[in-house]
Amino acid sequence: MPNLDNMIRISVILPMYNVEPYLERCIRSLEDQDIPQQDYEIICVNDGSPDNSKQVVLQLQKEYNNIVLIDQKNQGVSRARNNAIDSARGKYLLFVDPDDYVDANSFGRILSNADNHNAEVSFLGFTFLEEDGSVRKTIFNSKHINTVFEGAKAYYVARGDGKTDPDRMWAVLYKSEFINLHKLRFLSNVPYLEDGEFIARILFLAERCVFDGYSFYQRTTRPGSATNSRLFNSERAINGFLLAAKNLKNFKREQESINKDVVFLNRPIVKFVVLCMASSVGLFEPRRVVKTVRLLKENNLKLLSVSGCDKEFRILGRLYNVSPYFLYTYLTLENFMTFGRKSLMSK
């Protein structure tokens, strides 16, 4: 919990691993803002990066006095972010991927909007950029300005058509007090799509969510990033998806014990179970599939509740309930028709 006497307006958190070519652009965009430097900090977590990311930060620290460097052995992005949250002094937290950047002179606006609505979570406008820098799509949600939503409702409003707004931590502003009050932290050992597990818990608990409605975050595409790697079809990813599903199932059980409506949590649970099976598709190892099914059953994920799920995950969850191998066959056919991994990642 930040010391109130030492609190600043916002802590920006950058986990760093092999992002040297993009890092300076990102940090300079964060420095090109309309609030004083002493009102915010940029926490750069060097997660044992083998490139010169650390040296880039050290050089920029000579120019800017609000850059904080945390240097650690490689622990993964979740622990890197958690370590930054633990040391953050800001009233708000903003997670930024170092290969992305933000609009100039935009901090004042997003912070005032959050303050004015006493928001625990603020969804910020973002733009998807192609590799050449051209605009693929913009998502601003401008029609929802000045409306306060509960978290579960905000989740579906933010997704729109459900295909262009993946479960994400970036381009969202979080109130530190809310995050720390509920002891919310990233789940370690989920190496892929870990954002979806964390944001599900956040939005289940959040009561005041707003939309900024204007351009803020520029989301880039680059070869070799986590969401474009072969990690999806690895055993590490399968085990991570299993851990995420299990953690959300346990979280759901805890919330049921205090009589909270937990229907919203069914969707992310189904999603991570489906991702376990979808990851196995790319391995073409029958023994791995059998092991995955066994582990799901052993972790109390034999049957899934699909109430509250959208149409696609309701269908996939029901296929799983008939038989995990039935779902596996369906996903294999889908994979051959070029959907599979990409479609699931973006929903």
Q: What is the pLDDT of residues 81-116, one digit of tens each?
A: 999 999 999 999 999 999 999 999 999 999 999 999
Task: Kindly state the tokens that stand for 129.
Answer: 């950029």
Using CA atoms, how far apart are residues 276 and 339, in angstroms rounded to an integer? 16
Query: Where is average pLDDT lowest: 71-75, 241-245, 292-296, 332-336?
Result: 332-336
Inter-residue contact 156 to 203 (CB < 8 Å): no
Query: Where is average pLDDT lowest: 45-54, 107-116, 283-292, 336-345?
Result: 336-345
Residue 285 confidence (pLDDT): 80
Element (H, E) at 198: helix 194-205
> Which residue in 152, 40, 26 sits closest to 89, CA to CA?
40
Please report which confidence band the pLDDT of residue 65 belongs to, taking 50, 70 and 90 as the band edges.
Answer: very high
- Percent of the chain topping pLDDT 70: 90
> Which residue in 66, 41, 46 sits closest to 56, CA to CA?
46
Residue 229 confidence (pLDDT): 52
Give 35-51 pLDDT, tens digit per residue: 999 999 999 999 999 99
CA distances, 43 to each of 82, 120, 346 (Å) = 11, 21, 28
Distance of alpha carbon 241 from the chain centroid: 14
DSSP string, 264-308: GGHHHHHHHHHHHHHHHHTTT-HHHHHHHHHHHHHTT-SS---TT
Residue 286 confidence (pLDDT): 85
Residue 3 confidence (pLDDT): 57
CB-count exposure of residue 88 (10 Å: 0-12, 13-18, 19+): buried
Using CA atoms, how far apart are residues 149 and 121, in angstroms rounded to an integer? 10
Q: Which CATH class is domain 4-226?
A: alpha beta
Residue 4 confidence (pLDDT): 58
What residue ranges of the chain are covered by domains with CATH 3.90.550.10?
4-226
Inter-residue contact 188 to 79 (CB < 8 Å): yes
> Which residue in 279, 136, 347, 158 sits closest to 221, CA to CA?
136
